[in-house]
Each structure stands twice: as C-alpha cells, then as structure tokens.
C-alpha cells in the first residue's frame, strides 16, 4: 500500500481528495496577513502622525495584523486611516476604518473610498508616516477617475478588458492612466510624508507597480501605452478618454524626488504559497515539480497543456508526482455561462484526461473567489469521468459557453471556502500516480 502520510492511502480516492484540499489550505495559510508581519518589519515610530491607507481583498486583514503588531511594539502609539476591501472581506480593526466596495466591477463606494484616501493625504508633513497596505483587487476597489472622466466610462472599459482576455499587466496599465490615485499619485499626494508600502502580490512577476495598479509606486509606462492596448483589443474609446490619454503627462516618473525616502516591502507572493505546498508534499513522501509561479495565458489552453504533460509523465512514473503552478490565467469570454479562471483551467484539463486513471487535479484562486462566483475553484479525480458520462456533461459544450462553474457544480466538485482575506492568485495542483498503483 502506498501512503501519502501515516493515515492517507493512495488506494482511496476520497482521502486523496481531502489531502489535495488540505494542501491548498496549507498554501493559502502561508500567505495570510496574520502570518506575515513581524516587529522587525515595522518602520520607526515617526514624531508626527501615522496614517494607514490600503486597498485590496487582503487589505482589511492586513490592517488588523498591522494594528496588532504596531500596538505590541509601540504601546501608546496612535493610528488612524482607512482601507477598502471587497464586500464580505472585512476584518475587525480598532483604529483603522474598514470600508467595503465592489469587485471586479468598481462602484460608487469604491470611488468614495479612493477620494477619502486622497483627501487624507492633505496637510501631511515630513514628520508624518503613511503606511500603505496593498493587495490584489485594489485596482477595482480604489477607483478614482482622472479629471474629465467618469466612473461609468471606467466601468465600461474595465468590463471589456476583463472579458477580452487581456493579461493583468495590460489591464492595470490602462487603469493607471485613467486614474487620479494610481501609478504613484497617492504617494505624491502624501509628500513630504514618508510612505511605507506593504504588498501582497497577485501579479505574475511581482512587479510592485502592477499590484493594485501601484497607487504608491511610480509607473514606467505612458498614457500612449494605455491607448495602444485599448486600440489593439478594438475597445470602444470615448472621446474624453482618448483625449486624456493623448494629452496627459501628469504621471509621476520613477525617479521623481517624492519617492526618495519611500520603502516597499513585498510580504507574500505566489511562490511562497507554492513553497509551502511543496514542503508539505515532500513531508508526505511525494516528489514535486513546480512549473512556475507566474504562468499566464488562456486558462482552458493551459489546463489542456498540463493534462497532456501529466499523461506523458505518467508513462514512465514509478513514484507519485505532484505538479504545482501559480500565476494568473485569463478567460476570453464569448458565452454567457458562469465560471472563473480556475474552473475553466480544470475543464480544459478534464477535456484532455477524460477519466485517465490515477490523475487528480485541483485549482483555486487563493482569495477564495474564482472570478465573480462563490467558489474558490474546483477539484476532480479519475472516478468523476463516469459521472460526467452518466450526467451527459459535454466539456466542449460547457467550454463554448464559459460555463465551467455549472459543469463542476453538477459533479459536486466545487471548492467553496468563502473569503480567505489574502490573494496571491491561482494555485494549481495535479497529483499523478503511477498506472501500476
């Protein structure tokens, strides 16, 4: 009998299913704000005020963790400020106000939160400190249109970019150049106060300027770069937006003096989640192959490629092998079904595997929300293919209408965790067992 641990046997698919879910939970726990901040990472206490601002799906949990560590280190030090997070992703804070707004489509509450953050920077001095707590999702949650533009225009462009399959770096390039607060503008507004930014990265490559569109990070791209992206995807560009991108030259430059004393700390990345999962699998006696923490591309296509890889590796496999990957795939939406990147990835994989023996797969978004649905992702094993056939579920049909959620809902394969209050994007695991096992 082959065992993953003292209590888990490869001979029981249900236990393998549980183990994969526990592996995903281990990965998510490794990048949760509660585990990330130590007293040694705090800046010195300033002689003036300490103002906390933040945005993202992890922002409220980051604020709660920062408050605790700050109070433990500087007993009588006061904090103030506000952060904005997605509806349902809040956390209890004593000094920092927590607001909730819409994601992935921005709304008026997110606009008001961004306006308040910008206003809170007024009047700060060189004796003051601004602590920015930024995580993925902040771009939509902290939306403040550039002068002359409207929230409705940004909503329309954001929706089209999300549906056309553009990678996140291009989406956030556009967002930065249509904003009054992104691309380092919030940090410039805080000047001459010093700005310390703590980041939880959800972008491939972990470029701070891309995380939540970098409200405190200078931007090396230009408005014309944003215009080129919109034109390349044949997106309808309102005249006010085009005029702004052609004429705007207000973005702070990377070497602007306002950023001279600022500091940026990336607290967690996709690679941290993968390392935690790899270590857990190794302890269970399973070999691991990490394909990378920055994989992009069309979700269904990547799922098919990974399934093909699993089948190829299985031919000569003597011992169990776990294939791990992270990053952020995209979905080009042409149908009206329900789904997200991770379930579409799995549906692409199951289309290739079609019940191949001894291959199990899981894919989740580490924030607990795959796309805009209530699931984190899904899981399937070789025994599920007989149910696919019995229920007459055709993977190609579900892919055609981008309805992977309904496919895995019918299989009872959805993983529903609720908000995790962190976000390092996709976590994918394929367990390949030898055919002889």
Alpha-carbon distance values, 428 to 183, 191, 303, 363, 376 (Å): 31, 41, 10, 4, 12
In which residue ranges of the chain is CATH 3.40.50.10180 found? 37-268
Confidence class for position 9, pLDDT limits 50, 70, 90: low
Confidence class for position 1, pLDDT limits 50, 70, 90: very low
Mean pLDDT, residues 298-313 taken together? 98
Instruction: Answer whether residue 344 shows pLDDT above 80.
Output: yes
Mean pLDDT, residues 181-195 taken together? 96
Q: Which residue has the tokens 């796309």?
A: 371
Give me the pLDDT at residue 6, please. 44
In which residue ranges of the chain is CATH 3.40.1480.10 found? 3-30+271-432
Give me the pLDDT at residue 3, please. 43
pTM of the model: 0.93
Give me the pLDDT at residue 168, please. 87
Instruction: Answer whether residue 436 shows pLDDT above 90.
Output: no
CB 216 within 8 A of CB 187: yes
Torsions phi, psi for 99 (to 5 deg): -110, 155
Confidence class for position 14, pLDDT limits 50, 70, 90: confident
Mean pLDDT, residues 350-362 taken together? 96
Of 255 and 155, more confident: 155
CB 30 within 8 A of CB 279: no
Torsions phi, psi for 373 (to 5 deg): -95, -175
- Structure token pair of residue 149: 């533009």
Confidence class for position 2, pLDDT limits 50, 70, 90: very low
CATH label, 3-30+271-432, candidates 3.40.50.10860, 3.90.1150.10, 3.40.1480.10, 3.10.20.30: 3.40.1480.10
Alpha carbon distance 389, 232 (integer Å): 41
Instruction: Answer whether residue 254 shows pLDDT above 60.
Output: yes
CATH label, 37-268, candidates 3.40.50.620, 3.40.50.300, 3.40.50.10180, 3.40.1390.10: 3.40.50.10180
Confidence class for position 165, pLDDT limits 50, 70, 90: confident
Confidence class for position 90, pLDDT limits 50, 70, 90: very high
Which is it for strands 3-5 and 97-101: parallel, antiparallel or unpaired?
A: unpaired
Q: What is the pLDDT of residues 218-253, one digit of tens each?
A: 989 999 999 999 999 999 999 999 999 998 877 788
């Amino acid at each position: 009998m082959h065992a993953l641990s003292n209590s888990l046997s490869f001979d029981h698919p249900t236990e393998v299913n549980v183990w994969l879910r526990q592996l995903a939970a281990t990965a998510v726990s490794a990048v949760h704000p509660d585990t990330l901040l130590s007293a040694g990472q705090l800046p010195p206490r300033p002689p003036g005020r300490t103002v906390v601002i933040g945005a993202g799906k992890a922002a409220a949990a980051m604020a709660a963790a920062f408050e605790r560590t700050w109070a433990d280190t500087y007993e009588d030090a006061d904090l103030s400020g506000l952060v904005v997070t997605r509806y349902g992703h809040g956390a209890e804070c004593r000094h920092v106000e927590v607001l909730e707004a819409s994601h992935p489509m921005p709304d008026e509450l997110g606009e008001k939160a961004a306006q308040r953050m910008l206003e809170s920077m007024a009047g700060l001095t060189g004796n003051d400190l601004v602590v920015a707590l930024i995580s993925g999702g902040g771009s939509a949650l902290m939306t403040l249109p550039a002068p002359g533009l409207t929230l409705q225009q940004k909503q329309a462009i954001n929706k089209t970019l999300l549906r056309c399959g553009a990678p996140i770096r291009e989406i956030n390039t556009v967002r930065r150049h249509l904003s009054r607060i992104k691309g380092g503008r919030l940090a410039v507004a805080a000047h001459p106060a010093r700005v310390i930014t703590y980041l939880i990265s959800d972008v491939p490559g972990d470029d701070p300027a891309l995380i939540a569109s970098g409200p405190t990070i200078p931007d090396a791209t230009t408005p014309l770069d944003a215009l080129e992206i919109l034109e390349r995807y044949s997106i309808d560009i309102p005249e006010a937006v085009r005029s702004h991108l052609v004429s705007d030259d207000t973005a702070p430059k990377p070497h602007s003096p306002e950023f001279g004393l600022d500091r940026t700390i990336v607290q967690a990345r996709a690679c941290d989640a993968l390392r935690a999962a790899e270590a857990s699998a190794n302890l269970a006696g399973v070999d691991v192959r990490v394909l990378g923490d920055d994989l992009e591309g069309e979700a269904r296509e990547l799922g098919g490629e990974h399934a093909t890889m699993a089948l190829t590796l299985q031919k000569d496999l003597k011992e169990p092998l776990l294939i791990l990957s992270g990053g952020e795939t995209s979905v080009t939406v042409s149908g009206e079904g329900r789904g997200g990147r991770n379930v579409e990835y799995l549906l692409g994989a199951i289309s290739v595997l079609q019940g191949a023996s001894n291959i199990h797969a899981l894919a989740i978004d580490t924030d607990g929300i795959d796309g805009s649905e209530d699931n984190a992702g899904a899981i399937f094993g070789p025994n599920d293919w007989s149910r696919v056939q019995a229920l007459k579920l055709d993977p190609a049909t579900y892919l055609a209408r981008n309805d992977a959620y309904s496919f895995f809902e019918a299989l009872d394969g959805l993983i529903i965790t609720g908000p995790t209050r962190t976000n390092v994007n996709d976590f994918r695991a394929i367990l390949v067992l030898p055919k002889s096992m």
